[in-house]
Amino acid sequence: PPSLHPPAGPSRRDGRDSPAELELEVLRDTRNRTIRALCGQPSMPRSVWELPPGQRRTVLRHLLVSDKYRFLYCYVPKVACSNWKRILKVLDGALESVDVQGKMDHKSDLVFLGDMKPEEISYRLKHYYKFIFVRNPMERLLSAYRNKFGEIKEYQQKYGVEIVRRYRKNGGNSAGDDVSFSEFLQYLLDEDVERMNEHWMPIYNLCQPCAVRYDFIGSYERLHADANHVLEHIQSPSFVRFPERQAWYKPVTSETLHYYLCNTQRRLIRELLPKYILDFSLFAYPLPNITSEFCRQ
């Protein structure tokens, strides 16, 4: 596509862009150039049909469909996907308002591209507006770690118990609710990317931005502004807006990320980076700073 992002907005009256607008333009241009350069290589897939069956199933399972508004949204866990699913349900009339409280059902009242016939899939990939939202890879991993192993019993029992048993001496009595961040990273280091849980699988593998040519890549850092752009583009009703963050949600701040990165073995972080390097490079996120000078601050 000629551009994966909308214009930054009107310039100031003196005709000069503000520093924030210029920075945003540089970021968008970097993402556009990087994606075009990588995806233009002969070895990269040009469509979902060129992907191996397992990778194709993954991306089609993560592309949500709105036939009414003619768009495809590739949902990425830990990048506000629950709120986007809430919006889809409101747009399709399955939910009265984005403010309706209650546990999100991530399956019902949603249409997945993977449930359609090949010709229906191809038509929508060709003609529908396609978008994803991305996030700093380390921040996303930390968010998944704190949420799943600090709050969700199902994940503690399914993954936490195994992680502790595997990486801790005498860890057989753990309930899986005391997994350390280092143990979690070691687990990711030993995992096959294609077999990872969706909450920590790289965004590249979830959404395949070379095989699916997205019209817009929004970011978690500009969540509301980018979400409003999408809602405006699809011409959603004026009463549909992006929901505010839930009161119980504990955001990952720069200070929190600094603490975890600087209290984790640098070897683990360095060795893990290759698994997420496409997320860093394609979406123009800086590699984590784990220098001694940074960690002393």
Q: What is the per-residue pLDDT across 43-63, written as a single tens digit (0 to 9) for each?
A: 899 899 999 999 999 999 999
pLDDT band at 36 (very low <50, low <70, confident <90, very high): confident
pLDDT band at 296 (very low <50, low <70, confident <90, very high): confident
Q: What pLDDT sits at residue 104?
A: 64
pLDDT band at 249 (very low <50, low <70, confident <90, very high): low
User: What's the token pair of residue 15?
Assistant: 């005709």
Element containing residue 133 per DSSP (H, E): strand 129-134
Straight-line distance from the first to the last Cα atom of the chain, in angstroms, rounded to the nearest whole number: 42
Work out the number of other CB atoms within 10 angstroms of the CB of residue 93.
9
Q: What pLDDT sits at residue 84?
A: 94
Residue 4 has pLDDT above 60, yes or no: no
pLDDT band at 148 (very low <50, low <70, confident <90, very high): very high
Cα separation, 295 vs 236, whole angstroms: 45
Amino acid at the residue 242 = F
CB 220 within 8 A of CB 136: yes
Q: What is the pLDDT of residues 125-143, one digit of tens each?
A: 999 999 999 999 999 999 9
pLDDT band at 269 (very low <50, low <70, confident <90, very high): very high
**Predicted TM-score (pTM) of this structure:** 0.89
Coil/strand/helix, residue 140: helix
Coil/strand/helix, residue 101: coil
Nearest to 96, CA basis, from 237, 260, 207: 237
Coil/strand/helix, residue 166: helix
High-pLDDT (> 90) share of the chain, %? 66
Cα separation, 221 vs 136, whole angstroms: 9
CA dihedral 287, 51, 189, 152 (to 10 degrees): 90
